Amino acid sequence: MSLRSVFRSWMDRYFSDEEAVILMVLLVLGVVVVMWLGRMLAPFLTALVISFLLQGAVNWLVRRGLPHLPSVLLVFLGFVGILLAMALIVMPLIWNQLVSLVQEIPRMFASGQIFLEKLQANYPNLITPDQIQNWIGMAGREMTQMGQRALSLSLASLGNLMSVIIYLVLVPILVFFMLKDKDRLVGFTLWLLPKKRDLMTRIWREMDTQIANFVRGKFIEIIIVGSVSFLTFAFFGLPYSALLALTVGLSVLVPYIGAAVTTLPVAAVAGFHFGLGDQFLYVVIAYGVIQALDGNVLVPVLFSEAVNLHPVSIILAVLFFGGIWGFWGIFFAIPLATLIKALLYAWPRGIQKRSEQAAQRRQTEA
């Protein structure tokens, strides 16, 4: 069988349906638009995600008998209040702790050097002075690179001040109109699509509930894990509690990997502050309990309606989409992987479809 015949057979199997071809074109155009115009459309995409989060609250109020417009106004005012609280209370606290941590790094570096020297004196057969010097040199280079990255980030942030202002003004306006005119916007989008869209409708119905459940569930998970971590760290008197809690909360965006990565800063700060004693052990145990409860209790409750994916598939999706789209790629890695799975299962197969049609004709004739 020639290569041409193999290609023709493959096209006949997967693209013999007109709707399948249109759907493939729309998917390719969507990927191209996001990759090429993603930075330009970032406020719109951010507002789309936020409105997706808030739509559940609007629907809940409408089901309780409140008209649509007052429901939108109530939810929108709550969103603006949370946004102002984040900007005026939470972010300054986190920024101050970040500045304090940067100022504290030289003292931590000196304490770590003393600890390594004591460790080498106690175990001279396991750790040599050359190894200690290599570790200190490596840590010094990493600190220098971190300082350079922080400086470049701060200088770049000065240039992006206008972008931040645009986000703070434009995103809330877009969120309000997306909530208020949801039906009109959805109707206009459907008007642009072809009238024959059985495949698209089937895939959308399968993905709508799952994506909404994932986005809202992930947002709630970040809030719960971050809040519990902050209260726990503050209870033990751990410095930089807000900064560490923010890191732990955001780590749930990356399943499996995030929990392992955030263990290092939590253990490092606890070790430098408390030493390797009982208090350090209590903090590490409490952090382990938080991660265990998150993985075994909170995640099953929040994502009970989500499609189960194999851990290998989740990690591959996080690595692939995170490498392409950064933060949003990591955030939507699981929904995108679920979309690909739904496409693979729902995609029409020409040969199978024709055989099913022939079997139906034979049953009709019989």
Task: Tell me what pLDDT residue 74 has.
Answer: 93
Last residue of a domain, one of 174, 192, 210: 192
Last residue of a domain, one of 192, 219, 237: 192
The reply to whether 212 falls in a domain is: yes
Residue 174: domain span: 43-95+134-192
Q: Examine the domain organization and report whether 180 and 209 are in the same domain.
A: no
CA angle 297, 302, 308 (to 5 degrees): 90
Task: Tell me what pLDDT residue 41 has.
Answer: 78
**Nearest C-alpha neighbor of 336 from the set 303, 352, 314:** 314
Q: Examine the domain organization and report whether 162 and 207 are in the same domain.
A: no
Q: Examine the domain organization and report whether 310 and 339 are in the same domain.
A: yes
The reply to whether 15 falls in a domain is: no
Q: Examine the domain organization and report whether 182 and 258 are in the same domain.
A: no
Q: Examine the domain organization and report whether 242 and 307 are in the same domain.
A: yes
Q: Examine the domain organization and report whether 165 and 300 are in the same domain.
A: no
Q: Examine the domain organization and report whether 278 and 171 are in the same domain.
A: no
Q: Examine the domain organization and report whether 90 and 49 are in the same domain.
A: yes
Task: Tell me what pLDDT residue 264 has.
Answer: 85
Q: Examine the domain organization and report whether 180 and 277 are in the same domain.
A: no
The reply to whether 53 falls in a domain is: yes
Q: Examine the domain organization and report whether 178 and 274 are in the same domain.
A: no
Note if the pTM is more than 0.75.
no
The reply to whether 103 falls in a domain is: no
Q: Examine the domain organization and report whether 144 and 77 are in the same domain.
A: yes
Distance, CA of 148 to CA of 135 (rounded, Å): 20
Query: For every one of its 366 residues, what pLDDT tens digit does the chain have, with 9 covering 90 and above?
Result: 566 666 566 566 656 666 667 777 777 787 777 777 767 777 887 888 788 778 888 988 999 988 989 999 999 999 999 888 887 887 788 778 777 777 777 777 777 677 767 766 776 776 666 766 776 677 666 666 655 555 455 445 444 556 667 777 888 899 999 999 888 887 887 777 777 767 677 777 767 666 777 777 888 888 999 999 999 999 998 888 888 898 898 888 777 777 888 888 888 888 888 877 888 899 999 999 998 888 878 877 777 655 566 677 777 887 888 777 776 777 777 777 777 777 777 666 554 444 444 455 555 555
The reply to whether 27 falls in a domain is: no
Task: Tell me what pLDDT residue 22 has.
Answer: 73
Which residues have C-beta within 8 Å of that of residue 53, sequence separation ≥ 6?
215, 216, 219
Looking at the structure of the chain, the number of domains it has is 2
The reply to whether 165 falls in a domain is: yes
The reply to whether 21 falls in a domain is: no
Q: Examine the domain organization and report whether 152 and 234 are in the same domain.
A: no
Task: Tell me what pLDDT residue 315 has.
Answer: 77
CA angle 25, 26, 32 (to 5 degrees): 90
Task: Tell me what pLDDT residue 220 has.
Answer: 86
Last residue of a domain, one of 175, 192, 209: 192
The reply to whether 100 falls in a domain is: no
